[in-house]
Structure formats: structure tokens, C-alpha cells
Amino acid sequence: MKRPTVSLVISVWNRKDDLRENLRSCLQQTVPADEIVVVDNCSHDGTPEMVRAEFPQVKLVCMPHSAYGACETFNIGFASAGGEFVGILDDDVVLPPTFVEHMLAKFAQEPATTAILSPRVDEPEMPEWYKNSPSVNTERYLATFRGCGSMARHEAIRKAGYYDERFFIFGNERDLTTRLLNLGYRVKMVPSVVVFHKAPFGMRHGARSLYYHVRNFWLYAFKYLPWSQVLAFPFRFLMQKEKCCTSGSMLRSVISPLQRHCLKSGEIQTV
């Protein structure tokens, strides 16, 4: 039986050397991808020139300026991809040689309602207690996925409308998962597939990261939650403050229970 076709989609901005290592890992797969699509967000470090010179087989899409968010560049990559399955890859990941092979094998065992398989992701500064946590090393269904190195059924994410470009960056995976769940699909973690991500473990530091995490939490809340939950958030936030050490963990501690509540009660609605 002919195997399904696979496209690997990468969004990049000014990470020439990281992308080179990423593409080399993409081309060393035991089961080769049918195409690799790179969307360059108008890099000025020689990234597109490197791709053309060293990886002529790659389908390169060059944006006219760098003001596009990751959600939009990924969506352009998805729309440009012809594979039945789509690898969703950050520019700074390194795939294991069996990434495509093992993801396809796992999808073959899953029902058609499994839309995305999310791998275990190892990152610098990741504490041992997290690496050894059962929740990281057990197959389970998720309310989000790791957008740096997952694989999706193309038809499912197309039906869901790809990423909501209003999110720009951060939180877009949770939003897409919610829409997939509303369509009857599921997202599953597969820890037997391990992807290395060069970004340090945890929420990124800096004003830009904090801005988009907080902004996108509210965007998510206004999209899906009933007003009673939205208005209750400040009080839940203050109650959690004593238990959480970082802004990222506080947001996760609040948004995850709210999302679970809405899924169980059927209150999630898209806008």
C-alpha cells in the first residue's frame, strides 16, 4: 500500500545556522518527506541565500517584509504544502532520523479523528524532574501541542482554518487545538518521538514574550469562554498567585482549568 505523502513546513527568521542544521536533519530521515517548505520572514542574515545555495530541493517562500507573525508565515507554509501530513517545525529544532517514519507509523494506528501527534520535546535547561515526569513520558490526549515539532493531518488543520493569525505568536497551538476539538478531532502526545528544540526550557524572557502571552490569553478567553468565566479570571489569578512562581505558570494554571471546564460543559464556541 502506498504510504501517505508528507510535507515538512518550517517558518524562519534570521536563523541561518539553526535552519541549516534543521534542514540537514530533515534530509536524513529514514522515510524521506515528499517536500520541505521553508517560509522566510524577510531574513537579513543570508538565510534565503543559504537555502537556495545549499538546499535547492527545498520549496522556499520569501515574505516581502518581516512584520508577519509566526502564525501567518506558518499558514502560508501550510497552504503551500501538498502533503497529506504536515510537519510543523520551528527553525531551531533538530529532528531524529526516524521522525517521519515513526510519526506515520503512529498515525496508522490511530483513528482518523487524531488530528495532531505532538512529540516529547527536549530543551536546554530542562530540569530532570520534568524530563522524568510521567506526564511527559506517557501517551495521552492534550489540550494543546508543541508547535515546534509536531505532525498533523493536513485535512484536519485545513478544516479547522489553520492558525488564527490574530495570535501572531504564542498560544496559537492551544487555540487551534480548541477548534479541532470542537470539530471532533483529538491531539495526542507521543513521547516515543523525541525532538530537540534549541530554545531554553520555559517561557521566554522579555517584554515581547510577556506581552503576547498575556494578550493572547485574553484573546483566547474572549473567543471561547462565557462572560462569567472571563469576569472571574482576576479573582482566580489572585488566588493562584501564592502557588505559582512565574507569569507563565500562573497563566497555565488558570487557562487550563478554564479550557477543561468549557470542553466538559460544551460551552466553547468559536467566533
Residue 71, Cβ density class (10 Å: 0-12 exposed, 13-18 middle, ≥19 buried): buried
The rounded distance, in Å, linking the Cα atoms of 135 and 196 is: 18
What's the pLDDT band for 243 if we cut at 50, 70, 90? low
- Name which of 198, 176, 163, 188 is nearest 91 in CA terms: 198
Kindly give the interhelix angle for 227-241 and 247-265, rounded to the nearest 10 degrees: 140
**Residue 259 identity:** Q
pLDDT over 80 (residue 247): no
d(CA 222, CA 154): 27
Within 10 A of 271 (CB to CB), how many other CB atoms are there? 6
Enter the pTM of the model: 0.84
Contacts 24+ apart (CB under 8 A), 256-261: 256/143, 258/221, 258/225, 258/229, 258/233, 259/143, 259/174, 259/178, 259/224, 260/143, 261/229
- Examine the pLDDT at 45 and tell me if it is beyond 80: yes
CB 87 within 8 A of CB 11: no
pLDDT at 203: 66
Q: Span 1-17, mean pLDDT?
A: 95
Residue predicted with more confidence, 253 or 129: 129
Picking from 75-79, 120-124, 184-188, 209-213, which range would have the lowest pLDDT averaged per residue? 209-213
d(C-alpha 78, C-alpha 27), whole Å: 19
The answer to whether 7 and 87 are in contact (CB under 8 A) is: yes
Mean pLDDT of 221-243: 79
pLDDT confidence of 244, banded at 50, 70, 90? low
**Is residue 236 classed exposed, middle or buried when 0-12, 13-18 and 19+ CB atoms within 10 A define those classes?**
middle
Residues 74-99: tens digit of each pLDDT: 999 999 999 999 999 999 999 999 99
Q: Mean pLDDT over all residues of the chain?
A: 88
Asked if pLDDT for residue 178 goes beyond 70, the answer is: yes
CA 185 centroid distance within chain: 16
How many whole angstroms separate alpha carbon 45 and alpha carbon 229? 45
More confidently predicted of 212 and 140: 140
Q: Which residue has the higher pLDDT, 102 or 271?
A: 102
Query: For the residues 125-152, what does the mean pLDDT come to?
Result: 93
What is the rounded CA–CA span in Å between residue 194 and residue 271? 35
Q: Does the structure show a pLDDT above 50 at 141?
A: yes
